[in-house]
């Protein structure tokens, strides 16, 4: 452990990094429910390479098949100028869509991930279907769910930070907004009216942070070293699974397959709020919002 940290937040980040590796386990077969629960208890991710490769969806789905199965059904599509469907400008429509608007596709997928269903003693709360192209990006955010993410076509690139990375993520209170087409069919952003409640949104883009760009020149931020040690990067390929623990920050971008699509599903289970983990994560948030570890934002204020 590094000596004499200046403040409790820095000590927290350094202790965490001294006890946890940014290289997450890569399994070659699914864990048992008990093995899975050990990761849940630690709130630490893992990958199962090829864990879903035998799924019917991984074997059969391509553009022609998806068109055939969904023929004649209308679906919601997030259309944005830059692919940023749930960047701070609007929230993703993660609403159990596989068991609703994409129901015809669901027979090619298991109704649950058995190791997670047994370990967590409940069926998935939601199953979400994702189809996009390489422009689709999901800005850094967290969800209060235990998440099993499965890649069906193309590749997905995750940048991950644990919940205690709160000091980095620049949470801001923002009003939600939507893109609408104007009279000429151009996309324009419309904010909700000023009465609408602001919601906390993380505004940090780790891929634009000079501290995380290897050849970054200039002054380093206060926690440059802590960020670099904490940052987990994972690419999922067809048939891979990722366990993304509750409250982990994740930014997601993707690469298309040869047909130009990227497709994934994820299984959400409710997280457990009792115990001490959630209250302790709130403590970190309260401390940072109250000004602990001030100094990282100085650069931001100067610019």
Interacting residues toward a copy of itself by CB under 8 A = 8-9, 11-12, 15-16, 19-20, 33-34, 37-38, 40-44, 118-119, 121, 162-164, 272-284, 286-287, 290
Which tokens is 115 given? 């190791």
Of residues 276 and 301, the one with the C-beta less far from a copy of itself: 276
CB of 12 to a copy of itself, least distance (A): 5
With contact defined as beta carbons under 8 Å apart, do 39 and 269 qualify? no
Q: Which is nearer to a copy of itself, 16 or 135 (CB)?
A: 16
- Least distance (Å) between residue 43 CB and a copy of itself: 6
Between 247 and 265, name the residue whose CB sits nearer to a copy of itself.
247
What gap in Å lies between CA 243 and CA 150, rounded to an integer? Answer: 9
Report the run of H or E that residue 114 belongs to, with start and end.
helix 114-119
**What separation in angstroms does the CA of 77 have from each of 60, 112, 143?**
23, 25, 21
Nearer to a copy of itself, 42 or 196 (CB): 42
Of 20 and 203, nearer to a copy of itself (C-beta) is 20
Minimum CB separation from a copy of itself for residue 230, in Å?
A: 11
Pick 9 or 139: Cβ nearer a copy of itself: 9
Task: Please give the structure tokens belonging to residue 112.
Answer: 């649950």
Shortest reach from residue 147's CB to a copy of itself, in Å? 17
Query: How near is the Cβ of 211 to a copy of itself at its closest, in Å?
Result: 21
CA-closest candidate to residue 83, choices 254, 250, 203: 254
b/e 281-299 (16+ beta carbons within 10 angstroms → b) = beebbebbeeeebeebeee
The least CB distance from residue 132 to a copy of itself, in Å, is: 31
Q: Could you tell me which of 185, 120, 130, 182 has the C-alpha nearest to residue 156?
A: 130
* Element (DSSP H or E) covering residue 36: helix 33-42
Which helix (DSSP H) or strand (DSSP E) does residue 199 occupy? strand 199-202
Q: What minimum distance in Å lies between the beta carbon of 271 and a copy of itself?
A: 11
Nearer to a copy of itself, 180 or 286 (CB): 286
Cα separation, 11 vs 4, in Å, equals: 8
């Amino acid at each position: 452990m590094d000596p004499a940290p200046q403040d409790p937040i820095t000590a927290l980040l350094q202790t965490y990094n001294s006890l946890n590796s940014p290289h997450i386990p890569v399994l070659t077969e699914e864990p048992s429910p008990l093995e899975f629960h050990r990761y849940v208890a630690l709130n630490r991710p893992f990958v199962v390479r090829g864990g879903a490769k035998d799924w019917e969806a991984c074997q059969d789905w391509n553009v022609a098949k998806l068109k055939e199965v969904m023929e004649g059904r209308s679906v919601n599509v997030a259309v944005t100028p830059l692919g940023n469907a749930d960047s701070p400008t609007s929230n993703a429509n993660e609403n159990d869509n596989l068991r609703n608007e994409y129901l015809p596709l669901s027979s090619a997928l298991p109704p649950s991930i058995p190791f997670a269903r047994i370990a967590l003693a409940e069926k998935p709360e939601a199953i979400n279907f994702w189809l996009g192209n390489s422009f689709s990006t999901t800005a850094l955010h967290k969800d209060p769910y235990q998440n099993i993410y499965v890649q069906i076509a193309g590749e997905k690139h995750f940048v991950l930070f644990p919940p205690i990375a709160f000091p980095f993520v620049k949470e801001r209170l923002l009003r939600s907004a939507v893109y609408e087409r104007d009279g000429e069919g151009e996309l324009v952003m419309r904010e909700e009216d000023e009465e609408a409640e602001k919601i906390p949104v993380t505004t940090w883009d780790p891929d634009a942070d000079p501290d995380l760009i290897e050849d970054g020149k200039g002054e380093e931020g206060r926690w440059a070293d802590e960020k670099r040690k904490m940052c987990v990067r994972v690419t999922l390929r067809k048939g891979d699974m990722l366990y993304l623990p509750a409250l982990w920050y994740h930014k997601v971008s993707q690469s298309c397959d040869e047909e130009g699509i990227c497709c994934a599903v994820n299984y959400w289970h409710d997280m457990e709020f009792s115990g001490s983990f959630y209250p302790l994560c709130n403590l970190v948030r309260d401390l940072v919002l109250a000004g602990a570890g001030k100094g990282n934002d100085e650069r931001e204020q100067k610019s």
